[in-house]
Amino acid sequence: MRYALLRGVIRGVTGIVGLVPRKAGLAFFAVAGNVIYSIPHADRKRTLTHLRSIYGGRWSEMKIRTVARGVYRELGKNFYDAFYLARAKPEIVDRLIKTDPLEPVRSAYAEGRGCIMITAHTGCFEMLLPLFSNFGFRCFAIGKKLHDEGLDKLISRERSGNDSIYMDRSEGTGKILRLLREGRMFGVLIDQDISVEGVFADFLGKPANTPSGPVKMAMRFDIPLFVVTTARQRNNTHYVYINGPVPMENSGTAEDNLVKNIGTVNRIICDTIERYPEQWVWMHRRWHRKPAAEHGTTGAAT
């Protein structure tokens, strides 16, 4: 029933995107986010717990609760915009989305070695794959296949843009490397603690298990790596921050270099979260595993 409801919601949103003004759509989904926050549930509790853990010594309880409510409001608005922007005319997209200069990305992409674009669950992150595809880059991204086949196909179709590929991460490293050798741009999120190879590195002041595969690829195969984050602005436009190519540390052991490089990537991501705390997914169990040993090895869940 849950998957059927989600399929219905997505089809409903795609159906009304072109029928109502964007301002009305954003307002409706902001209210929906407020309503969801107002209902006690585990994700709301986890959001508050994480905000208190990071900001408890700096913020009042009132501010923490205000930001937590804002997290759900922004999620609602960004959910709507992910569908709206995917269907908007190019001139509307140009008006609503601004980016840092693309020249460093175009220069690295032109080398033909592929590019690794690390991003995070900030702002309307779902728009990034079709956005960069529409900029003329051949892109691909990976994610976890959903249990419901119909919902998985529906979301995968929404995530794709012109000449872009959305693949399940179970398809393996070999396919990722093959697509990179074709000169494609690889988009990947690494700001969650998921069941893949990872190392511990600082994230908002606390050690967090961070997927290490993309950074390890950049180090081993000398692939240009960028960190790309996005955030909604006060006027409901979006800004895309582009950092890179990020220099890769190579002065120590392979393990130490990997931890340092992931730490650098995390710091860039956290800069955006610190600037826009309402626009990150605080309900994720980002710190649920603890370091088991000194050099960032993945420990057991707690």
Give the mean pLDDT per block of 10 residues along the chain (302 residues).
Answer: 63 70 94 95 97 96 98 96 90 96 97 96 94 92 64 53 63 88 95 90 96 95 97 97 94 92 98 98 94 53 34
pLDDT at 252: 83
Q: Can you tell me the distance from the alpha carbon of 82 to that of 79, in angstroms, rounded to the nearest whole number?
A: 5
CB 75 within 8 A of CB 33: yes
Report how far residue 244's alpha carbon sits from residue 122's, in angstroms, rounded to the nearest whole number: 18
Nearest CA among 176, 181, 139, 137 for reference residue 159: 139
pLDDT (0 to 100) of residue 20: 85
Contacts of residue 191, Cβ cutoff 8 Å, sequence gap at least 6: 120, 121, 203, 210, 266, 269, 280, 284, 286
Compute the C-alpha angle 59/64/70, nearest 5°. 135
Q: What confidence score (pLDDT) does residue 200 get?
A: 95
Give the largest Cα separation in the chain, rounded: 57
Predicted pLDDT at 301:
37
pLDDT value for 93: 94
